[in-house]
Structure 1
């Protein structure tokens, strides 16, 4: 009997320890559990925030900004989860899978602040995005419609935000995604160069222009040339395989026709206070003035890439407090001077006055008058805005040098794009 009793006690102890261990693991893994624990400690509401910004974004820069939101420390606290960077692929995949599972179970973070990197510039094929297709996430009712919040917001002047970029976060239910930063592709020339052509123009017109500089400026990324990439109402590409093959062929033929001395031009991205490229570092705030030609898309406008956005979980426990963060982040001064915008995000803030003469001192987006005017003109020509993702990645890897390889590559990538959109 003593042996049986001892055995039963041992089994009970193991079950108890196993149950405690499971609860501990659940407490670590579950976002709601973590916030509830913090609420018990502080006595304040706790807003859970998922942060996925540039790799190695300094946590101090994030907290320095968020801690200035009205009511923080008095009415509510934060529980931040900063996802592992893309170079820690295994840890990142585990964290993403866990949070996605929570969301599917009707839980998850209250607020998402997410970056979307640019394939071919600062992202590769192995880069895992938390939301692969943000537009489809809206259709799948993952985000909270925010129109009523926006109407009553204290810091938001919606008319001062880039309209086409902001509209990319809207569907029939209203505004659900709030773009924070974006970028677009352009080519820089010395101000002594003045093109004779009249802008804007279509991409096809760029490739046929007698000015070799304009032809060279047409040689950008396919996803910017195409413009709108997907018809999300049909879960299908917004272009045919034949069209894609034609664009790739024309791009290659145009490049072959450009004199070698005209090929070496800085094709660059709009970024923090300069036009950024791995091999180019050009300040816009000094005395140097530039002639800028954007990469026009096939419809004659400029394609914007949304590089950071915020959204509120439709199942958020504290949506009012979560929106306070968005309201704060859309304040023009915060966009131009805060730590989170300057050190943790890439691209231009959505505030269209960024870089004008009223830009606060210390902002990394200061520009001289000529450069600000040139950037403003290009901003006003934006007619398409995309969230970079798997479609861009596949377009980035299309081969173009050999005709047979080109046809095969276009077909393979187009079929894969179709599959990805159908599964989204």
Structure 2
């Protein structure tokens, strides 16, 4: 029996043991023609760092696992933050030819319903040479209000239009937003430089803070209104399937669309010994039913599945992504407004550390320091 080796780096791996083998139980040939050997590096601390170093060395030596299932952790929202992602910049990993081309495999896929996968998110898995990785989960952020509130303004709109809107709830949603999602594109990998200027970063940080402190008191309370990622953990305080209904205002970026963050992807090592079986696993994981109900999607990955109909009336009741019609429609409509897709990484962490506040000198210094650090990280990538 062939043994497909799998590097599984999922920072939000929950209490479920062996989620990948359990999720593959219905795949024809699994356990008969081939099986999997999982090398999980979800642990934190020295053990995690040692595993990263060992595996990176193996890959550079032309070895390593057959299949990568890697989480690009969120530096905001729900989940552990002390670990680093295995690939800091997956876009650069594609350019460095670490992954196998998947175009021919995709054409022969048996389970993938390509038209039912979020198109902008999936497109991020390829470059000029073709498809090299396939996103499994992603997220975007939104602010939640009681369902009785219905904004009069029409969406989409740019972030700056939100900030200037007469509706305080819309201004609250804009000032709640994460800077990395407001800016949208963070890196110009052709130039190995940030995709925005230092001045733009400081402007957004200062404007967001000034808007926040000018809001009515009930909108300035800590955690109110809740700004959440589309992630089971982050949404745990919202009853998505219950009778209570919420009105969602997504975070719109500077160009007037929604920024999506890929939180998990799968790719095949260019040096894989069993690439055919590795793709059979990816193909099966991307089938609608597996995305909706499998242990690995339910407890092992941040974000929500790339299946666009997740949460609709046909979603099995056993799925943690069950939701009422109102919430499904809002999320479904928001997906169509995605115009920027990125992988979480060190640049997000830098932007998380930009301090905007009453102390203008501190904010100026913080913005400059983090921008310089981003320039350095991209130059070294």
TM-score tier, shorter chain, comes to over 0.9
Aligned position for 1:203: 159
Aligned position for 1:232: 189
Deviation at 1:56, TM superposition (A): 4.5
1:61 to 7, 11, 19: 19
Give 3-state SS (helix, strand or coil) of 1:271's partner. Answer: coil
CA-to-partner distance for each residue in 1:274-332, whole Å, 9 max, x for gaps? 862xxx60111111111110011111011111111111101111111100000000100
Aligned-pair Cα RMSD in Å: 1.4
2:218 to 261, 264, 271: 261
1:333 aligns with 2:289: yes
Structure with larger Rg? 1
Whether the aligned pair in 2 keeps the contact of 1:124 and 1:393 (CA below 8 Å) is no
Give 3-state SS (helix, strand or coil) of 1:59's partner. Answer: coil
1:183 aligns with 2:139: yes
Give the whole-Å Cα distance in 2 for the aligned partners of 1:413 and 1:265: 28
Whether the aligned pair in 2 keeps the contact of 1:275 and 1:283 (CA below 8 Å) is no
2:199 to 225, 233, 242: 242
Give the whole-Å Cα distance in 1 for the aligned partners of 2:367 and 2:142: 25
Whether the aligned pair in 2 keeps the contact of 1:115 and 1:345 (CA below 8 Å) is yes
Aligned position for 1:149: 105
Aligned position for 2:370: 413
The structure-2 alpha-carbon separation of the partners of 1:124 and 1:223, relative to structure 1 and needing over 3 Å to count, comes to farther
In the alignment, structure 1 segments of 5+ residues that lack a partner are 1-43
Whether the aligned pair in 2 keeps the contact of 1:307 and 1:346 (CA below 8 Å) is yes
Q: Which moved more, 1:101-110 or 1:184-193?
A: 184-193
Whether the aligned pair in 2 keeps the contact of 1:200 and 1:301 (CA below 8 Å) is yes
Bigger helix share: 1
Deviation at 1:55, TM superposition (A): 4.2
TM-score normalised to structure 1 length: 0.86
Give the whole-Å Cα distance in 2 for the aligned partners of 1:358 and 1:157: 15
Deviation at 1:129, TM superposition (A): 1.1
1:103 to 48, 53, 59: 59
In the alignment, structure 2 segments of 5+ residues that lack a partner are none
CA-to-partner distance for each residue in 1:101-133, whole Å, 9 max, x for gaps? 000001100000011111132467642211111
TM-score normalised to structure 2 length: 0.95
- Ranges of 4+ aligned residues in structure 1 off by more than 6 Å: none
Aligned position for 2:4: 47
Aligned position for 1:292: 248
CA-to-partner distance for each residue in 1:175-197, whole Å, 9 max, x for gaps? 11111011111011111111111
Deviation at 1:66, TM superposition (A): 2.8
Question: Which structure is higher in RCO with an 8 Å CA cutoff and minimum separation 6?
Answer: 2
Give the whole-Å Cα distance in 1 for the aligned partners of 2:300 and 2:242: 24
Aligned position for 2:168: 212
Whether the aligned pair in 2 keeps the contact of 1:56 and 1:85 (CA below 8 Å) is no
After superposition, residues 377-416 of structure 1 pair within 5 angstroms as 377-401=333-357, 402-416=359-373
Whether the aligned pair in 2 keeps the contact of 1:55 and 1:85 (CA below 8 Å) is no
Give the whole-Å Cα distance in 1 for the aligned partners of 2:193 and 2:28: 43
Whether the aligned pair in 2 keeps the contact of 1:70 and 1:324 (CA below 8 Å) is no
